[in-house]
Structure 1
Amino acid sequence: MQVEQVPSPNFNDRKHKVDMLVLHYTGMESGEAALTRMCDPSAEVSAHYMVWEDGRITQLVAEDKRAWHAGVSVWQGDTDLNSRSVGIEIVNGGHDVPLIDGTLAPYPDVQVDALIALCKGILSRHDIPASRVVAHSDIAPARKTDPGEHFPWARLAADGIGLWPSSAALSLDESSLMPGDSGPAVSDLQNMLHAIGYGLEANGTYDETTRLVISAFQRRYVSAQITGAADPETLERIANVYGLIAGAA
């Protein structure tokens, strides 16, 4: 795997060891525009790597340095995620630059193959649990939607990168929870999402923060229905992901 070096000035020293991998899309008109921005000192943004549509990989910041990609974020109770993570920007317009018909541009197979190879290398160099391979939208659900519901998380998980619950485990009932609901069932839901890693505390009320976290979860695991409502499939998926994490603890 060849990696082009284009150093960015936007980095500083880490305060923690690396134990996370955060995936983003660039959300710009082109990879060239994203690269220029991440190398602009006034932008104050960067990532360790960028993966182009044709599978090329560019490194901007050394892995032992703190790149500036996560912003204000939280996962599994940790903050300053820039100090804890390797950040990868994947060239894709996403929601910011959709296709002319309004759909999201797909991630080409050659790009995903290169990303998988890059991630495997990173995971071989750092002790990163599967539960800490995350989307930008996971760690900042009120602000971010990348790498988007069109990102192939299941394909990465099949190669040992991140988590993916088995669809065969679904045995749906008719229960659901909606924004505005309250009570012990909502508290249980919030506790499971918090245990998975989302920055959500159990207050027993299906409030706006809960809706945003549910939307982020759906964007990754139930991508056909990003409603913010905890329908039966979403509830079952949450329980399955929670079970994967609890079983690995």
Structure 2
Amino acid sequence: MRARLAWPLVSVMMLSLVACAGPTERRDGYRVDHSHRADAYNSRVRHLVLHYTSHGEQRALATLTGPRVSSHYLVPVPAQQSGSKAPRIYQLVPEHERAWHAGVSAWGTSSNLNDTSIGIEIINDGPVATAEGWVWSAFPAAQIEAVIALLQDLSQRYQIDPINIVGHADIAPQRKIDPGPAFPWQQLYRAGLGTWPDADAVQRHQAQLQQTPPSLRDLQEGLAAWGYPIHISGEADAQTCAVVRAFQMRYRATDYRGAPDLETAAILWALLEKYRPALLPPTRAAPSITGRTLNQQPPTEAAWANWAVSCPALVLSTDGR
């Protein structure tokens, strides 16, 4: 049975390097000489993927140390304690190993993100059924501080692109919704982690898009350029609703119905302008981010001035997934 240990925020790989810091290492039947080191290699880690467990700590530990799924880290709700004692975080899989947390997934040009990511599960109940309907569970402040400390450590050591700090819903929008709209992405951004649009840029793009509405294909191209796994169909299909909902849960958590609107498009354009200007949809490249060339025709798809895209309501299960 696998031991459940509380590891510090140091990878098992680093600990191993310390243990074999000498020039030679004796193994069973042979010795390894560490006196020469190659520089032509890189890390497998390119993404950090955040999840919520939808269960309490003991059930989550049992699941994540079982035979079917795993994650590299599990962040519990810190116990009430006095003083400045550092919060405990479980490390369940060494960072250089491949945990089974992402499933069928894609982000940007990468697929099968188990191969290129570190998975971080956060103890949280997700959506909870109440008499008033589903309510999303809050993440305690001390827990988010622990998540931020972990992400800062991993981001620095692996030089993670801010765009590649993602949620499970981002990389598998048609299957997953975690870490959900209650997760404080903007707080992470203020701590130097992940991405967030500038408010003035969102307002500027919204005013421009109202004058020149994008087509549905434009929005799909923008979402794909940002990283989302979406087929450019030009149609208001189920995959578009799922991707738009994942995007809204992250960047506009007050309204995540999945139906695209001008504010959603403006947030997306502001993000692309800020972080990935070279990946803006071609129709937005000239003469300005949202302008069209003089000889370019208006969108042939249904103009988004009325946004007549209807998406099914989000259906939640008892485990939130």
TM range (shorter): 0.7 to 0.9
The structure number with the bigger radius of gyration is 2
Instruction: Name the % identity.
Output: 40
- Cross-structure match for 2:145: 113
Partner-residue secondary structure (3-state), 1:227: coil
Partner residue, 2:192: 160
| Aligned counterpart in structure 1 of residue 73 of structure 2, from 27, 49, 67 | 49
Offset at 1:56? 2.5
> What's the CA shift string for 1:171-192, capped at 9, x where partnerless?
234968xxxxxx9711111111
> Are residues 1:26 and 2:53 paired?
yes
Q: Distance in 1 between matches of 2:174 and 2:76?
A: 27
Is 1:17 the counterpart of 2:44? The answer is yes
CA-atom RMSD in angstroms: 2.4
Correspondence for 2:262 among 218, 232, 235: 232
1:159 Cα offset (Å): 1.0
1:126 — aligned with what?
158
| Matched residue, 1:193 | 223
User: What's the TM-score once normalised by structure 2's chain length?
Assistant: 0.67
Amino acid at match of 2:59: A
Closer/same/farther in 2, CA of residues 72 and 175 from structure 1, 3 Å limit: same
Separation in structure 2 between the aligned mates of residue 18 and residue 208 of structure 1, nearest angstrom: 31
CA deviation string 1:157-211 (max 9, x = no partner) = 11111101122322234968xxxxxx97111111110010001132211211111
Q: What SS class does the counterpart of residue 106 from structure 2 fall into? A: coil
Relative to structure 1, the CA distance from residue 248 to residue 204 in structure 2 (aligned partners, 3 Å threshold; closer, same or farther) is closer
Preserved contact between residue 108 and residue 226 of structure 2 (Cα < 8 Å): yes
Shift of 1:244: 2.4
The answer to whether the 8 Å contact 1:18/1:127 transfers is: no
| Compared CA separation, residues 98 and 136, structure 1 to 2 (3 A) | farther
Distance in 1 separating the partners of 2:131 and 2:156: 39
Distance 1:46 1:196, change over 3 A: same
Q: Which runs of 5+ in 1 are unaligned?
A: 7-15, 177-182
- Report the Cα distance in structure 2 between the residues aligned to 1:25 and 1:239, rounded to whole angstroms: 28
Q: Give the Cα separation in 2 of the matches to 1:39 and 1:93.
A: 19
Residues 77, 199 of structure 1: 8 Å contact kept: no
For 1:164 and 1:127, locate their aligned partners in 2 and report how far apart those are by CA, in whole Å. 18
Letter of the structure 2 residue corresponding to residue 4 of structure 1: A
Q: Secondary structure at the match of 1:117?
A: helix
Q: Match of 1:144, SS?
A: coil
Instruction: Give the whole-Å Cα distance in 2 for the aligned partners of 1:109 and 1:224.
Output: 20
* Residue deviations 1:68-103 (CA, integer Å, cap 9, x gap): 0001011002112001000100000102x4567631
Conserved 8 A contact 1:174-1:232: no
Q: Quick one: distance in 2 between partners of 1:67 and 1:170?
A: 37
Q: Residues 99 and 47 from structure 1, CA distance in 2 versus in 1: closer, same or farther, beyond 3 angstroms? A: farther
Equivalent residue, structure 1, for 2:107: 75
SS class of match (2:183)? coil
**SS of residue paired to 2:276:** helix
In structure 1, what is the equivalent of residue 94 of structure 2?
Answer: 62
Q: 1:144 to 1:246 in 2, by over 3 A?
A: same
Shift of 1:231: 1.4
The one-letter code sitting in structure 2 at the alignment partner of 1:185 is S
Does the 8 A contact of 2:209 with 2:266 survive in 1?
Answer: no
* Unpaired stretches in structure 2, ≥5 consecutive residues: 9-42, 79-86, 280-321
Moved more, 225-234 or 213-222: 225-234
State the Cα deviation string for residues 40-77 of structure 1 (Å, max 9, x = none): 12xx1000001111142110001000000001011002
* TM-score, scaled to structure 1: 0.85
